[in-house]
């Protein structure tokens, strides 16, 4: 091999090494800024809008890499109502998105020309709602069977400010027992009603605040004497569970279609009976005082 061939081989090898170095450098340039960061899609319709995060302009309708934490977001475009807010980026954040609303005729024209942008963002909203729905069902299985509704009553739910579920029953005295029994039957193989806050509207709880304290020795007499002045009051049955006594009673007049059934729990303390629940159609952690959920389950199945 002559000197010319050696020089040619060296040049080729040098070129290969240089190319490899360039590739490595480019890879490092692209990878290093992403280390420890979260890949996040940022999109605000219309995509011609200007987007700033912590005061720095970011490309709209694109993926960027962000460290976990809070970011101020500002979105603006001439003729549109500007948006400003704060978003929190976590390792689970995949998208930051929204839209701004046209305020002028010219802006409405721009919005209509970019209708596909809004449809893309609607898709992100739909995905979020779907994911939230799945999370709610996993945490609160009861919602999978709700609402239950007909012309006599409606059983549904609301999401409270702390993201817990409040079950709702909307009916009148005549049908409250039917609605409650329907809910109990539907939930029997799905969830434990005792853990929920349950609100009944359209129904008058005549036993709330009607009890008169007395010193009756027996649990049944204690309850009967306490509600003796309530129209149509009738003790139905009861059972003891440890230190607790659970009773089912009813009020009203069957001929007037006003009969309603109630559950209640009392407990003997220092030799005297004491109410530990508000009489209600369903015993829950929200209408009792420090009663084990196992006792509430016994009450709801009485």
Give the span between the Cα atoms of 77 and 75, in whole angstroms: 7
The pLDDT, as a whole number, for residue 134 is 78
What predicted TM-score, i.e. pTM, was given to this entire model? 0.60
The pLDDT, as a whole number, for residue 15 is 65
Token pair for residue 83?
Answer: 């948006």
The pLDDT, as a whole number, for residue 42 is 94
Give the span between the Cα atoms of 186 and 192, in whole angstroms: 11
Cα dihedral 138, 139, 145, 148, rounded to 10, equals -150
The pLDDT, as a whole number, for residue 32 is 46
Place of tokens 């539907």: 186
Query: From the first residue on, what is the mean pLDDT of each consecutive set of 10 residues in the chain (302 residues)?
Result: 59 65 54 67 95 94 92 95 92 90 92 92 83 80 88 88 86 89 89 92 88 93 93 93 94 77 93 92 91 94 92
CATH class held by domain 37-138: mainly beta
The pLDDT, as a whole number, for residue 28 is 43
The pLDDT, as a whole number, for residue 18 is 67
Give the span between the Cα atoms of 43 and 51, in whole angstroms: 8
Intervals of CATH 2.60.40 along the chain: 37-138
């Amino acid at each position: 091999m002559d000197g010319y061939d050696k020089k040619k081989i060296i040049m080729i090898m040098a070129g290969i090494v240089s190319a490899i170095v360039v590739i490595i450098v480019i890879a490092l340039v692209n990878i290093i800024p992403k280390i420890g960061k979260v890949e996040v899609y940022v999109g605000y319709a219309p995509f011609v809008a200007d987007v700033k995060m912590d005061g720095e302009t970011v490309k709209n309708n694109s993926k960027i890499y962000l460290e976990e934490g809070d970011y101020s977001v500002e979105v603006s475009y001439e003729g549109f109502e500007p948006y400003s807010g704060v978003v929190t980026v976590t390792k689970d954040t995949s998208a930051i998105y929204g839209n701004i609303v046209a305020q002028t005729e010219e802006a409405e024209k721009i919005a209509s020309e970019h209708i596909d942008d809004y449809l893309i963002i609607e898709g992100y909203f739909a995905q979020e709602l779907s994911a939230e729905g799945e999370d709610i069902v996993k945490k609160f299985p009861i919602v999978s069977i709700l609402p239950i509704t007909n012309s006599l009553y409606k059983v549904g739910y609301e999401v409270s400010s702390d993201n817990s579920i409040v079950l709702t029953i909307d009916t009148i005295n005549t049908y409250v027992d039917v609605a409650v029994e329907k809910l109990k039957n539907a939930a029997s193989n799905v969830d434990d009603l005792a853990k929920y806050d349950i609100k009944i509207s359209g129904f008058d709880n005549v036993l709330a605040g009607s009890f008169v304290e007395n010193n009756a020795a027996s649990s049944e007499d204690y309850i009967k004497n306490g509600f003796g002045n309530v129209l149509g009051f009738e003790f139905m049955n009861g059972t003891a569970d440890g230190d607790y006594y659970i009773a089912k009673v009813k009020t009203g007049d069957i001929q007037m279609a006003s009969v309603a059934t109630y559950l209640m729990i009392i407990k003997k303390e220092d030799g005297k009976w004491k109410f530990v629940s508000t009489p209600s159609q369903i015993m829950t952690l929200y209408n009792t005082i420090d009663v084990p959920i196992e006792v509430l389950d016994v009450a709801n199945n009485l």
